[in-house]
A and B are shown apart, each in its own frame.
Chain A
Amino acid sequence: MDRDGFTEYVEACWPQLVRTAVLMGCEPAEAEDIVQETLLRCLKRWARVRQADDRQAYVHRVLINTFISARRRHWTQEQPTTVFPELPTNDDTAKVDIADAVLRSLSRLPEDQRVAVVLRYYAQLSERSMAAALGVAPGTIKSRLSRGLKVLAADTTLAELKGSP
């Protein structure tokens, strides 16, 4: 199995991929699992990944597919219950910081728009790379970004963060 440069790639990209997964809606532990699965899939085809014209787009496409697949499995694991296992807790909104606020705002976006915003403005993929990663037309990317930004612009939570450190 060709592994040339794989270790170096993982070391360099691990933080960014995990954070991308979290911003897309995963819990941190789940994000690590998904990125690990993503990199495992990439390793099995590493020769192709390494030589891809746009490696980041390739890896992010695998990441998104793994993310969607994990969500699908997650759904099947849900069990109906008449008793909620959660215990009541205090509302800690006073402790909300920027990260919480941003994640909450992102969670209000439809999944396709959320993924588009994260890939464009956090992962810094170009619209062309995003089109390749998501398997959709560039026009669709523009549309999703436009609608996503419009929702975020109207988000009062984000507006209140203006000027915060």
Chain B
Amino acid sequence: MELTASIARSAVFAPLADRGRAEVVTARLEEAIVLGILQPGERLPSEARLAERLGVATVTVREALADLRDRSLLTTQRGRGGGSFVTVDEAARAAAVAERIRALSAADAADLGTYFLAIVGTSARIAAEDASPSDLESLSLDLARASFGNEFSARRSLGGFHVAVVALSRSTRLVREQVRLQHADGPMLWASLQDPGEREAAAAAAQRLVDAIAAGDGDLAYREAETAVARAVRWLLAERRRLEAR
């Protein structure tokens, strides 16, 4: 008991992550570029705007952009219509994603799935037990407007759909956590969406989840979330093995 207490106490005073702020900004933007959240040719907001959005000093943003420029992920054009543009090409991007999948451990892949299910599965169960007709209408409309035609639109659509399901738990904390998960780990967890067959399966699974919520079946809703994420994890593991064998 005393030991537990002292471990808990020392955790309170453990050092905080002390990576430089510019490094954190660089990592955030690099991740977004490599994983295609920011797409080739896209113009980033101005330095001042980025600083405001990210809650850091302008000089920090400038330092991060310079670093990304040095690594050819961005180019900067001056003058009218200028700014920082994403320049990484599709081949380089695909190679970087493959590298990340190869570096993923089996334990990490399983953990991503469990983390996701803890939030989305629980929310789906609450939604099935508690959703009102207007909630169901909004959720169905959201999915009807979703597009799984390409990797980027599918990731955005599926992400939006999952946040909408979690919002039906009516827990602000779960919604924030899900958004955080999707920003940090979503592109890796749902890397399977680069495969057209997986996109089709994800769209069908989302529809089955809506049906289970509409049917008021909490257990089924949880299982649908579980089946969908298990498939994504299996794809990651298989892809990792395939890349390893090359």
Answer yes or no: are A and B bound together in one complex.
Answer: no
